[in-house]
Amino acid sequence: MGIINATPDSFSDGAELQRSGTTSFQLDIDKALFRAETMVAEGATFVDVGGESTRPGAATVSEQEELDRVIPLIAAISASLDVCVSIDTSSPVVMKEALDSGAQLINDIRALAIPGAAELLASTKAAVCLMHMQGAPSTMQKTPSYGSVVLEVFDFLKSRVAYSLECGIEQDRLLIDPGFGFGKTVQHNYQLLKNLGYFSQLEIPLLVGLSRKSMIGEVVARPVEQRLAGSIAATTLALASGARIIRTHDVAATMDAIRVNLAYSSAE
């Protein structure tokens, strides 16, 4: 799953997609579409479009602004590329517009917490990724705290799966994600990575986002643009523990890791 950030303040790539000659943020659709095309050529099955920056401490964005950022891009990608478009949003209004514009997967870091989201999705055929987060993006990295991070994230995802099923979203449309970096210390993140296999009990495909995150940066002591090797190392570990979808800024390198994992898994 390739990441397309339609935000001005994404920590790793958003500002690059800003239309030149503008001061307020305006997404350059051609640049973003080219980025999506490249990712598909490199092997991406999904592109994840996001208009709300959820990095720690990020400013909130209005629903209208989120719509303005993502909808034209989703429509453009859906019209021209053979790829499953994912929308990274928690807003039922944005979900609805995104689905009407061709998106097929809802990636919700708040796991359908906003009233109306689950009911809306029940009446569609969209796939839905339920992610764990402790707290809210503005404050989540201040004092992450768990008794057992693995058990608490597991229980949370289990209950959100049950809630989704109750609301009428069928199990075969669901994905789960432990939410690396979302209200977790570096140690919490590695405890989760080490115990990813535990989540297979839920019998729901596991998506993980590790790409360039601070859990990589802190152990390799490198800035965001130098975290590819560390991200691939973590990806390899996640794949070995059963991760099925890897959300990444670096599709070509991630596909290489996936191919090596597939060859390894099928060796006798």
Catalytic residues, by residue number, are 213, 247
Phi first, then psi, for residue 88 (nearest 5°) are -90, 95
Residue type, 260: V
Report how far residue 109's alpha carbon sits from residue 128's, in angstroms, rounded to the nearest whole number.
Answer: 11
Interface residue with ligand 7PJ, options 92, 179, 183, 217 (CB under 6 A): 179
Residue whose tokens read 């859990």: 215
177 contributes a contact to ligand 7PJ by CB under 6 A = yes
Residues 6+ positions from 50 with CB-CB distance below 8 Å: 3, 4, 5, 6, 7, 10, 70, 87, 88, 89, 107
55 contributes a contact to ligand 7PJ by CB under 6 A = yes
- Nearer CB in complex with ligand 7PJ: 109/118: 109
Question: CB 171 → ligand 7PJ: shortest distance, Å?
Answer: 18
Q: Two tokens at 143? A: 């004092």
Question: Binding-site residue total for ligand 7PJ (CB under 6 A)?
Answer: 15
180 contributes a contact to ligand 7PJ by CB under 6 A = yes
- Nearer CB in complex with ligand 7PJ: 13/68: 13
Question: CB 123 → ligand 7PJ: shortest distance, Å?
Answer: 22
**How deeply is 253 buried, as exposed, middle or buried, from its count of CB atoms within 10 A (0-12, 13-18, 19+)?**
middle
Question: CB 160 → ligand 7PJ: shortest distance, Å?
Answer: 13
Question: CB 16 → ligand 7PJ: shortest distance, Å?
Answer: 15
Residues 6+ positions from 256 with CB-CB distance below 8 Å: 232
2 contributes a contact to ligand 7PJ by CB under 6 A = no
Tell me if 40 sits within 8 A of 249, measured CB to CB. Answer: no
Q: Between β-strands 207-209 and 245-247, what pairing exists: parallel, antiparallel or unpaired?
A: parallel
Interface residue with ligand 7PJ, options 6, 47, 131, 140 (CB under 6 A): 131
Q: Which of residues 190-229 bind ligand 7PJ (CB under 6 A)?
A: 207, 209, 213
Residue type, 127: A
Q: Two tokens at 68? A: 């303005």
Q: Which of residues 133-152 bind ligand 7PJ (CB under 6 A)?
A: none
- Nearer CB in complex with ligand 7PJ: 204/207: 207
- Nearer CB in complex with ligand 7PJ: 51/92: 51
Interface residue with ligand 7PJ, options 7, 18, 54, 231 (CB under 6 A): 54
- Nearer CB in complex with ligand 7PJ: 22/38: 38
Can you point out the beta strands (E) in the chain?
Answer: 2-5, 46-50, 84-88, 105-108, 127-131, 174-177, 207-209, 245-247
DSSP code at position 250: -
- Nearer CB in complex with ligand 7PJ: 21/74: 74
Instruction: Give me the residues that bind ligand 7PJ (CB under 6 A), please.
Output: 3, 54-55, 88, 107, 109, 129, 131, 177, 179-180, 207, 209, 213, 247
